[in-house]
Amino acid sequence: MSSALWPRRAFLATVSAATASVLLTACGGATATGPSGDGTPVDGGNLTFLIQGYDTGWVSSKTSISSYEGNLWGQITDKLVYVDEKGKLSPWIAESWEELNGAKEFVLHLKKGVTFSDGSPLDAAAVVANLNAWAKGDPSRGVSKVGLFPSTNFLKAEAKDAGTVRVTFSSPALGFIATLGYHGCILLSPKTLALPVEQQADLKQEIGSGPFVVKSWKQGDSYVLEKRKDYNWGPAALGHTGPARLDTITYKVIKDTSVRTSTVASGQAEVAFNVEPQEIDSLKAQGFTVGTPRYLGFTDGFQVNTGTFPTNELSVRQAIQHGIDREEILKTVYTGDWTAATTFLQGNVPEAGDYSGLFKFDPEAAKKLLEDDGWKTGADGYRVKDGKTLELTLSPNPYVPSTKAEDELISQQLKNIGIKVNLKVVDVAGYAAVQASHPPLYQTSRSFVDVGTVAGVLTSQNNGEDWFRLGTSDKKLNELSTAVATASDRDTRKKVAGEIQQHVLEQGYFIPLNQLVQRLYLISPKVQGVQYNGLAYANFYTAWIAK
């Protein structure tokens, strides 16, 4: 194995004088008031959070709340329900709810006294406006619906009074309440939702009800949030009431991973987003916290385009599944915080099963699949059929920096069975173009809160995302997708979810790699009280800085 596959193992203890000077000037030092040596939370303090960038912009319906923007959105907005790391749901802005008529109707009872940062009420009318935006979007204004919201059977949302919302579906929607905790379902002021998309892109216009508000920002450089002193409606699950403890959070854009890491290591910032996995043990040994929350959703792996060469052939798809050595990837690229995938769903999803036998590493089986389908080995070691070389291009997922090393290793593993892999490294903006081009393999990272929403991505039914470019050609997948989305009881839905997993993997529509840890947080020992939700986002509402 080439040494180039290994991520850099050591990080700089200090940044250069020039870099340190820039960061200190831009971010300022952290301060806090009150004693905290005994672990008692204290109020005050300014936290600096280093992040790769915000390249997809600030229109929530267009960005789908990417991993980067999501960190900031989560501080300035609230949700109707809270979902924890284990997928447990609990009240937030909706303090209670009722599931009626076989999960076709739901009644949400809202917390009283909640306001957006401009003082307008977060009442039933505001919730209805948000539900309609999530379910329908507004194509005439370029406003997209939330991809994993159960919109196909959504009929209406109506305000029964200022504190009560009734939501009606044409068929059972067991995942509805869970989806309200999804990070795409952030509550925004109706004033924001009514703006033209171009004006929504102005971050100052993004009016939420969260514990922080946007104070100032310089696009592509830094974004300063300050706490709302009147905030008093955080989720009970977090164990804190009243305003946030921190005074401000400054998100500072630093694209280079090593600089982000070394800046926190040298005490010039408190948090860095995404460090190299191979540095985790060393950082922990020095007293730093490295948060590696695992979200509810899909594993790290490849969506397979069944409509293009060479993955339009089942034998090629299955050969790729069996040609990848996942254990070698885990040992080479990752640490003990990562585990192998057993299906295309994360292991903490309650309906996830173990179907690893369908894609186990078996290079001899992979070679036989290709040989039997007429792929012969050429002089250069790569397979050829009908004058075409068996090759494809991989673009590592820029939202998960470690996938570059992962894909370099996969290219070597697939070479061993005669498949040529070309690597094309792109940034976040470039990755959107890769997705739009529908390559043979697209490395995905996608979260969800409830398995019922999976149906909205697998086929093109009901304007689904059609991940595998099947349209509606696979009748069995169509039926299973409909069944999981419209199941009237959870036991039936779990059984169908298992059948979907088996079918997708048998057909080679998805190639799982590992249980994804996408959002890593390097945190200074001074920072206490950080919590993570079920989408693996860090919550700084409860955080404080110790002296």
Tens digit of pLDDT at every position of the chain (547 positions):
333 333 333 333 333 333 433 343 334 333 333 334 568 999 999 999 999 988 777 887 776 667 888 899 999 999 999 998 888 999 999 999 999 999 999 999 999 999 999 999 999 999 999 999 999 988 888 788 887 888 888 999 999 999 999 999 999 999 999 999 988 899 999 999 998 888 888 888 899 999 999 999 998 999 999 999 999 999 999 999 999 999 999 999 999 999 999 999 999 999 999 999 989 999 999 999 999 998 888 999 999 999 999 999 999 999 999 999 999 999 999 988 899 999 999 998 989 999 999 999 999 999 999 999 999 999 999 999 999 999 999 999 988 878 999 999 999 999 999 999 999 999 888 998 999 999 999 998 788 888 988 888 899 987 889 999 999 999 999 999 999 988 889 899 999 999 999 999 999 999 999 998 889 999 999 999 999 998 999 999 999 999 7
Tell me the pTM: 0.82
Tokens 């209670």 found at: 96
**Domain residue limits, the chain:** 46-291+520-545, 297-515
pLDDT at 337: 87
Q: What is the three-class DSSP state of 107?
A: strand
Q: Strand pairing of 420-423 and 391-394?
A: parallel
| Fold of the domain spanning 46-291+520-545 | D-Maltodextrin-Binding Protein; domain 2 (3.40.190)
Tokens 């991940």 found at: 467
For residue 310 the two structure tokens come to: 């060479």
Query: Do the Cβ atoms of 191 and 209 come closer than 8 Å?
Result: no
Q: Please state whether the peptide bond connecting residue 310 to the residue before it is cis, i.e. omega within 30 degrees of 0.
A: yes
pLDDT at 401: 78
pLDDT at 63: 61
pLDDT at 120: 97
* Residue 485 vs residues 57, 352, 391, 454, 489: alpha-carbon distances, Å: 31, 16, 36, 8, 11
The verdict on domain 297-515 having CATH code 3.10.105.10 is: yes
| Contacts with 170 (C-beta within 8 Å, 6 or more apart), sequence order | 104, 153, 154, 155
User: CA 404: distance to chain centroid?
Assistant: 18
Give the span between the Cα atoms of 58 and 37, in whole angstroms: 39
Query: Do the Cβ atoms of 148 and 481 come closer than 8 Å?
Result: no
User: CA 75: distance to chain centroid?
Assistant: 16
Q: With CA atoms as reference, report the closest residue to 326 among 317, 314, 339, 335.
A: 339
* Buried-state track 12-24, b at ≥16 Cβ within 10 A, e below 16: eeebeeebbeebe
Give the span between the Cα atoms of 524 and 264, in whole angstroms: 7
For residue 288 the two structure tokens come to: 């730093």
pLDDT at 336: 87
Query: Do the Cβ atoms of 450 and 175 come closer than 8 Å?
Result: yes
